[in-house]
Amino acid sequence: MAEFRYNPLLDDWTIVNGQRQNRPDMPKDYCAFCPGSKQIKDTYTVLKYDNDWPSMMPNPPKEDDVATDFYKTAPSYGKAEVILYSPDHNASLWNLSIDHLVKLVDLWKERFIEIKKDKHIQYILTFENRGKEVGTTQPHPHGQIYGYGFMPLRIKVELENSKKHFDKTGESLILKIRDEELKVKDRIIMENDSFVVFLPFFTDYPYGCYLVPKANNIHSFEDFDEKTSRDLAQILRDLQGTFDHMFDRVFPYMMGIYQIPVNSELEEESKKYYNFHIKFFPPLRGENSIKWNASSETAAWAKTNPRRVEDTAEELRQAYKKWKEIDNK
């Protein structure tokens, strides 16, 4: 019913969980994440909630009897948590206070430290799916945290390329991308004392922002101090406010918070060449147009951006200006 299945073409694992198909459709007037649902505490500001339908578990079931001498399976070991951002069903990050959002950042940090204690976990990804366009079925503001019992392919590739760059130049690739954007300036959207947001030169999503620390020694939430946490809360609030006020609608996105691996020799080694950062993958290419991943992108991973990056960066800068005018009133 649930296992990892090995893909020899990609040297990667597929998470297979047939039980997730059995998740019930909830009544339209019911939300499990709202106080009073009996699923959660009646009073909270932010909250960790164990996923009711996890893809990975600390005590995974026995794999289906489908493996062969060639095809390999493994137990679906890991951790899947839901992080509730607010008890308000209709809240957005941009209409929550900075103090509230600092509590969210602190909870992300707390859960990273706790999940890392499980020595079988190899990578921890904090993420958010926002909007029906990315398949979100629960609009209550929330994200998730996965602790993987294997190293996901994208992380593996990024680490390998970051190490190659470090071996050639002695510098972190993420920080080199940041510094190049700060030098060029054309694709910078916003910044504060601790972070900068930009559209990278190579983004395949028209509004695919990167959020990168200005300090060179931030590798995971464990490196955050109070100032860093508060500045992350502020810039996340500003970025989502910018997104939503660009087209005056809920702006859909997928967000991933990237940190160094855990529980292997890579944890210490990768501090030389990999840094904390956040990537956004918004599916819009215009107010009501979706950037679908079509055949070339899916079959060959030949990423295509249908918009000129510098043009969408200017759109985002104008939206940021609009958002700050609204927020300062």
pLDDT tens digits, 267-288 = 999 999 999 999 999 999 999 9
Q: How far is the C-alpha of 33 from the C-alpha of 91, rounded, in Å?
A: 12
- Return the axis-axis angle of helices 173-184 and 153-169, rounded to nearest 10°: 70
* Number of domains composing the chain: 1
| Range of weakest confidence among 21-25, 177-181, 210-214, 218-222 | 21-25
Q: What is the model's pLDDT at position 2?
A: 85
Q: How confident is the model at residue 38 (pLDDT cuts 50, 70, 90)?
A: confident
Q: Which pLDDT score, from 0 to 100, does residue 23 have?
A: 58
pLDDT tens for 77-112 read 999 999 999 999 999 999 999 999 999 999 999 999
Helical (H) or strand (E) element with 313: helix 309-327
pLDDT of residue 27: 65
Q: Tell me the one-letter amino acid at 102.
A: V
pLDDT of residue 108: 98
pLDDT over 90 (residue 22):
no
Whether the predicted pLDDT of 19 surpasses 90: no
pLDDT tens, position by position, 227-269: 999 999 999 999 999 999 999 999 999 999 999 999 999 999 9
Task: Count how many Cα atoms sit within 13 Å of the Cα of residue 64 in the half-sphere of its side chain.
Answer: 12
pLDDT at position 46 is: 98
Of the candidates 153, 138, 152, 125, which has an alpha carbon nearest to the alpha carbon of residue 256?
Answer: 125
The CATH number of residue 76's host domain is 3.30.428.10
Q: Is the pTM of this model over 0.85?
A: yes
Beta carbons of 264 and 122 less than 8 angstroms apart: yes
Could you count the other beta carbons within 10 Å of the beta carbon of residue 15? Answer: 19
Bigger pLDDT: 284 or 138? Answer: 284
Dist CA 55 CA 163 (whole Å): 30
Contact call for residues 181 and 191 (beta carbons, < 8 A): no
> Does residue 325 register a pLDDT over 90?
yes
State mean pLDDT over 62-72.
95
Strands (E), 203-315: 210-213, 253-258, 277-281
pLDDT confidence bin for 57, thresholds 50/70/90: very high
Share the mean pLDDT of the chain. Answer: 95
Distance (Å, whole) CA 185 – CA 139: 35
Report the pLDDT averaged over residues 279-302.
Answer: 95
Res 26: pLDDT: 60
Distances (CA, A) of 166 to 92, 170, 176, 273, 296: 39, 4, 10, 6, 31
In degrees and rounded to multiples of 5, residue 66 shows phi and psi of -125, -5
Which pLDDT score, from 0 to 100, does residue 17 have? 87
| CB distance 228 to 218 below 8 Å | yes
- Per-residue model confidence as pLDDT tens digits over 198-220: 999 999 999 999 999 999 999 99
- The DSSP call for residue 179 is H
Residue 194 lies in domain = 2-327
CA 108 to CA 221: how far, in whole Å?
A: 8
Pairing of strands 2-7, 73-74: antiparallel
- The rounded distance, in Å, linking the Cα atoms of 269 and 261 is 10
